Amino acid sequence: MTPSLEPGEALSGRLADVDARIAAAAVAAGRDPAELTRIVVTKFHPAALVEELYALGVRDMGENRQQEFSAKVDEVGPLAGLRWHFIGQAQTNKARAIRAAASVVHSVDRARIADALHAAAADDGSILDVLLQVNLTDDAGRGGTAAGDLEALAAHVAGLATLRVRGIMAVAPLDVPPARAFESLPALSATVRHVVPDASWISAGMTADFAEAIAAGATHLRIGSAITGPRPERG
C-alpha cells in the first residue's frame, strides 16, 4: 500500500470539519443532515488515501477520469459497503470500463452514453444506478443535457433494463453565483420524477458551493480538496 502523505489526524480533522459544515447547512435549510450523502472525490490522490478514508467510515468515493478510476478501484479491491461514483464526463468508448468499476454514474447526458453503458452490462442481471447530468447554462459546449431535453432523456434511459435512473446531477458555472445557479434544481428534479417517480437524487454541490446546493435540495455532495487536502503535483 502506498504510504500516507500526512498524519491521519489531519485527514480525520478535515473530514469532521466538512461533515459539521454540511450538518449546519442542512439545519439552516430546514433539512435533516441524515438525508445527505457526502461523496469524497479522491482525484489524483493515491489508493492509500481511499483506504484511510474507508477506515474513517467513508463509504462513498468519487472519481472523474476513467483510467485513474479503473486503476484505483482495482488497487483498492473489494471493501464491504464501498460505493464508487463516476462523476466525470463519460465517453462511449470507455463505457465498459466505467461500468465495470462504478456503483453509480453521475454523468449520463445523452442517449448514446446511456446505450453504451447498457450494452456493457454483465450477464449477471446487475443494475447500474445513473444520474442525468443537466447543463445549467446556455453554453451547449459544457457537459450536461439541455434542460429542455431532460424529460426525453429520462424516458430513454428509463427504458434501458440494466440502468436505474436515480435523479439528476449538475455543476454550478463559475460565472454565476451558486445560489442562483442552483435555483432550477427542484424543477429539473421534478421533470425527471414525472417520468421516474422515485428518481429523487440531486447530485450538486462541491467544496465551494455545497451549502447553496443543500439549500436548493441537493441530496448528494461531491467534496474533494476540503477533505483530501491539496492534490499531489503530477509529473
**For 120, which DSSP code?**
T
Per-residue pLDDT of the chain (235 residues; tens, 9 = 90+): 344 445 678 999 999 999 999 999 999 999 999 999 999 999 999 999 999 999 999 999 999 999 999 999 999 999 999 999 999 999 999 999 999 999 999 999 999 999 999 999 999 989 999 999 999 988 777 889 999 999 999 999 999 999 999 999 999 998 889 999 999 999 999 999 999 999 999 999 999 999 999 999 999 999 999 999 987 766 4
- Domain annotation covers residue 210: yes
Classify residue 221: in a domain, yes or no: yes
Residue 167 lies in a domain: yes
User: What is the C-alpha separation between 86 and 105, in angstroms, rounded?
Assistant: 5
**Domain-embedded: residue 58:** yes
Contact 186, 217 (CB under 8 A): yes
Residue 61, SS3? strand
Please state, in angstroms and as integers, the Cα–Cα distance from residue 180 to each residue in 12, 24, 29, 71, following that order. Answer: 32, 20, 16, 37
- A 10 A CB-CB count for 203 gives 28
Could you tell me if residue 25 is inside a domain?
yes
Q: Is residue 3 part of a domain?
A: no
Q: Residue 136's domain is classified under what CATH number?
A: 3.20.20.10
CA gap 104, 128 in Å, rounded: 6
Task: Please check whether residue 38 is in contact with residue 22, taking contact to mean a CB–CB distance below 8 angstroms.
Answer: yes
Residue 119 lies inside a defined structural domain of this protein = yes
Of 209, 60, 194, 218, whose CA–CA distance to 129 is shortest? 60
The number of domains in the chain is 1
Residue from 86, 145, 92, 84 nearest 120 by CA: 92
**DSSP alpha helix (H) spans, 4-140:** 8-28, 47-55, 66-76, 95-101, 111-119
Where is 154: in which H helix or E strand?
A: helix 150-158
Domain span at residue 25 reads 8-228
The span from the CA of 214 to the CA of 220, in Å, is 9
Asked whether residue 2 is assigned to any structural domain, the reply reads no
Measured CA distances, 37 to 23, 201, 223 (Å): 11, 10, 10
